[in-house]
Chain A
């Protein structure tokens, strides 16, 4: 990351053809541009080369266990809130090969690690930059860095887009992560609505970002552009309706491990793991040898895993967390409480994905608020298995 502070640079303005030139420039540089696009009824992240592939005119309605695309009454390209995908899919892929080896008469030969793709991520939200910073702490700033993640992360370029239209599931202000982009970006765009076609205020966050912006046909931002962008920022902040009271939450949760609410939520929870799969900070993975009938070939795969599966806590003799109650409790207390001890930060950035993509609509903010409101309750009768 370039050390220069964003304040060293003046914001500029880019029009829609200019946004296409930006994508073209990134492709020319040999980058794979990943951005938002509509597929199967949702905004997902995929490789794009044309602004026509962006979700122009699409917004979304989200609630617990519910997501629907919706036509907007304007044609904003970035007028949606985060969908099921996060950048984790590209920085920490769902399945990847950690090593492969061939056995021959000469011995065992381990293949060199595959080259990582050079990505440019377009449309990264503030909460997502915060989530990547959390994953950096877990996967890079440790004694045992994840080589593949670190390499992908180092290469990637981040073109953020400030949120204009948060969903009802979003609660980033509570977690101090958004909706306004603050750090971690190379460029940060704000889409300014305009009947003649939206334009973008471009804030420069790094030297790499400045170098790319310098290659585009931009103009200096006028006061009117800045005011219009500021209106987008304040409008987004005002539109966030959900909240999580984060202060002191760690203590509340760790002192309520026998709260009856864990039983209530366990009666609804499917232990399906959708929440951990969509969470941009969850990092659990299995490392397993892949099946091969041939004795000459071996390879190991790293696969997204989850604390909702019984074998996640398998020790000699059995699983530590056989009940769904203990597994939901693990997930929530890890995100909101013990993550602080482990990594010096919350494991939740307030993106709301776990709320929307839970098939039965379990809401982490509601669960936390209920336990706080009834602090100290213990389940009756005592003695049931945790």
Chain B
């Protein structure tokens, strides 16, 4: 690749914990290759030097929760050729979107001594609710291997090879014993998108759904199976209401439990 065409990469933060950006820093050896292949032009977590836009690829972490952020994301979109939303916050609102299930004023008055100083939006929303997004990379946090895949795909101008099927495929390939079938542990793996290499079932825990809904999530059937396994409605509701609570399929599943439905 000729020097003058070294692509510029920017990393932006919205309401988030920085975990996804740290996944990029955690790529150690590969990051050297990234640094060789791209000019890291805006990445405050890694360096305080900032290079002017426009940028070839912008990685955006976090959700939009304030009026200021709602404006800033428009600016980020304007200076980015490709905008990739990374992580549960940027793709589905993240854990802070739990506030969407209740009145934000009430929450603020309980949490803050002077809620009048707050300027916050009524709901917490993913990046795609504000601007067009070129790719959404799931996970809380994102998987470093998948992040490198998406980066190299955008740098090479090809489609990222990110699979949208269930976690169960990865779980079985890895040789895990299914916690749902063999232990009776509730697991969201069958309705959750792969990408994490089935970390939780590998430690005999049920999947928490942090990669969000898979391509064709049948949450009603899984909820029925969880009930049959002895889980009550509140537990099933909370299972769907964590990192991707406002991803449409998971939100519908948790709301169905709220109304006491979903009990076949």
A binds B: yes
Name A's B-contacting residues (CB within 8 A). 39-42, 44, 65-69, 83-85, 89, 94-95, 267-274, 277-278, 288-289, 291-294, 303-304, 306, 308-311, 324, 356-361
User: How far is the CB of A311 from the nearest CB of chain B, in Å?
Assistant: 8
Determine whether the beta carbon of A85 is less than 8 Å from that of B221: no
User: How far is the CB of A146 from the nearest CB of chain B, in Å?
Assistant: 17
User: How far is the CB of A31 from the nearest CB of chain B, in Å?
Assistant: 21
User: Which chain B positions have C-beta within 8 A of A311?
Assistant: 163-165
User: How far is the CB of A237 from the nearest CB of chain B, in Å?
Assistant: 26
Determine whether the beta carbon of A269 is less than 8 Å from that of B180: no
| Distance in angstroms between the alpha carbons of A142 and B216 in the assembled complex | 34
Determine whether the beta carbon of B216 is less than 8 Å from that of A40: no
Name B's A-contacting residues (CB within 8 A). 30, 33-34, 37, 145, 148-149, 151-153, 155, 161, 163-166, 168-169, 172-178, 180-183, 187, 189-191, 204, 214-216, 218, 220-222, 224-225
User: How far is the CB of A296 from the nearest CB of chain B, in Å?
Assistant: 10
| Distance in angstroms between the alpha carbons of A303 and B165 in the assembled complex | 14
User: Which chain A positions have C-beta within 8 A of B220?
Assistant: 267
9 further interface pairs, Cβ-Cβ under 8 Å (given A94-B172, A293-B34): A41-B177, A42-B182, A269-B221, A270-B222, A274-B168, A274-B190, A311-B165, A357-B178, A358-B181
Determine whether the beta carbon of A309 is less than 8 Å from that of B187: no
User: Which chain A positions have C-beta within 8 A of B177?
Assistant: 39-42, 44, 83-84
Determine whether the beta carbon of B181 is less than 8 Å from that of A356: yes
Partner of A288, one of B34, B152, B161, B175: B161
Given A68-B182, A293-B30; A277-B152 close (CB under 8 Å): no
Closest to B174 in A: A94
Partner of A359, one of B155, B169, B181: B181
Given A270-B221, A360-B225; A291-B166 close (CB under 8 Å): no
User: How far is the CB of A117 from the nearest CB of chain B, in Å?
Assistant: 16
Determine whether the beta carbon of A272 is less than 8 Å from that of B175: no
| Distance in angstroms between the alpha carbons of A39 and B30 in the assembled complex | 35
Determine whether the beta carbon of A40 is less than 8 Å from that of B204: yes
Given A40-B204, A94-B174; A272-B181 close (CB under 8 Å): no
| Distance in angstroms between the alpha carbons of A67 and B176 in the assembled complex | 14
Determine whether the beta carbon of B222 is less than 8 Å from that of A44: no
Most buried by B among A269, A274, A294: A274
